[in-house]
Amino acid sequence: MATSMPAQAQLSTLLNRGKRGADRAETCGEGKKGDTARGVVGGLLGGAVRDMARKARLPSFVPVPAFSDQLTESIACRLDPEEQKQAAEATLQATRADTQDGAAQVGATASWNSSTRDDVSGTSTVTRRERAKGDLDCITVTDVVIVQGEETRADKRMCRAPGSARYSIIA
């Protein structure tokens, strides 16, 4: 049965233990603990950002499941569905292989401006490259979004299996 799924879906399911955006949507903006593998620091920072956003009455959106392998919850919760699509496309563009070995290039950046709100923009930048256990090719991508003058940053570890064309967030 596992071989009937695309390699990217298999990798994402295995590494995220099936925890997709729809499952994490329940925690968006509510201060509930999300995926524990993200680490204590990310959880504390994400909680602080959500609390400040709530106090400032900034909008909080539900993550679109289709983009959960490209966007972190802390970023998705700040963006409407169209902006989530734009941010996910920027991640795909920044991580697109442009080296001879087919890997994403450290320093590659993609920017976007919201098509739905004037005061929203963002970037995705490949900031680190590493070799994980086995044959996985892993990178760190830093997302920055600016909503109503407030900056939110999130680092996400993304990997791809041999033969896969696309990187996906892993826990």
The predicted model gives 64-71 an average pLDDT of: 84
pLDDT winner (highest mean) among 12-26, 84-98, 125-139, 140-154: 140-154
Q: Quick check: 82 pLDDT over 90?
A: yes
Q: Quick check: 7 pLDDT over 60?
A: no
- Residue 108 CA neighbour count, 13 Å, CB half: 19
Least confident of 55-59, 92-96, 156-160: 55-59
pLDDT tens-digit map of 150-165: 999 999 999 988 888 8
Least confident of 15-29, 69-83, 87-101: 15-29
Residue 155 near residue 142 (C-beta atoms within 8 A):
yes
pLDDT band with cut points at 50, 70 and 90 for residue 64: confident
Six-digit token string for 131: 């070799």
Six-digit token string for 115: 């098509």
More confident residue, 102 or 165: 165
pLDDT band with cut points at 50, 70 and 90 for residue 52: low
| Contacts (Cβ under 8 Å, ≥6 apart) of 80 | 59, 61, 114, 116, 117
Residue 126 near residue 139 (C-beta atoms within 8 A):
yes
The predicted model gives 47-59 an average pLDDT of: 57
Model pTM above 0.85:
no
More confident residue, 27 or 121: 121
Q: Quick check: 148 pLDDT over 70?
A: yes
Residue type, 166: R
